[in-house]
Amino acid sequence: VELAPGAWHVPDWLSLDEQRELVAAARSWAAPPAGMRHTVMPSGGVMSVRSVCLGLHWEPYHYSEFLPDGTPVKPFPALLGALARRAVVEVYGSVPSDPYDIGLVNHYDAGASMGLHRDADEESPAPVVSLSIGDRCVFRFGNTETRTRPWTDVELYSGDLIVFGGPSRLAYHGVPRIRPSTGDPATGLASGRLNITIRAMGRRT
């Protein structure tokens, strides 16, 4: 389903086995050092999701090889690169312009949400690939001009793929709410929603 030019939603893209593999991997990615944490914004606000970065660490609003406490970011897993390339080839029918090298794993508990924002700290125009596991959520897909309406709310289920390329790469988006206790424990995720987002840094010019 094309949500907007270049933005695609592919329901039920991951098999249950792949979801289980990613949940198990995420458990090791989430462990310290350089594990899952709440990001603190420059305003002093604390994001309600917990996140762990792989390959490059994101801190508002730039990337680094180190966390603020000086620990090195975990390496980018080959598994995520392979999934992202496969997604782009299936959806767009062409290989991505840059190698995928940034993984971001977000965990939303029952009350967590993410406000409307753009992912604009990467240099590459390569599509962003995003996977959902666990509880369902409302994903809000906005426009490229303003943080306000018009937007479209899409229900994302465990196993769904969304990709954002071309004119939608810099669209505003967010997750206003999750639907608690709607996930299948067979994924290995006991509660909440896991989002795995894969991006390419690209070459700075």
Query: At its nearest, how many Å lie between Fe ion and the CB of residue 117?
Result: 6
Taking residues 100 to 139 in sequence order and writing x for each that binds Fe ion by CB under 5 A, - otherwise, the string is: -------------------x--------------------
Q: Measured between alpha carbons, how far is 60 from 11 in angstroms, rounded to an integer? A: 30
Query: At its nearest, how many Å lie between Fe ion and the CB of residue 186?
Result: 28
- Is the CB of 70 or the CB of 149 nearer to ligand MD5? 149
Backbone torsions φ then ψ of 133, nearest 5 degrees? -140, 140
Query: At its nearest, how many Å lie between ligand MD5 and the CB of residue 140?
Result: 9
Tell which phi-psi region holds residue 12, choosing left (phi > 0), alpha (psi between -120 and 50) or beta: left
Six-digit token pair at 106?
């977000």
- Is the CB of 83 or the CB of 114 nearer to ligand MD5? 114
Element holding 27 (H helix, E strand) = helix 16-30
Query: Which of ligand MD5, Fe ion, none binds 168 (CB below 5-8 Å, type-dependent)?
Result: ligand MD5
Interface with ligand MD5 (CB under 6 A):
104, 106, 114, 119, 128, 130, 139, 141, 164, 168, 171, 173, 175, 195, 197
Strand positions, DSSP E, the chain: 2-4, 7-10, 37-40, 46-54, 57-59, 62-64, 102-108, 114-117, 128-134, 136-141, 152-156, 161-164, 173-179, 193-199
Query: At its nearest, how many Å lie between ligand MD5 and the CB of residue 36?
Result: 13
Query: Applying CB under 5 A, which residues contact Fe ion?
Result: 119
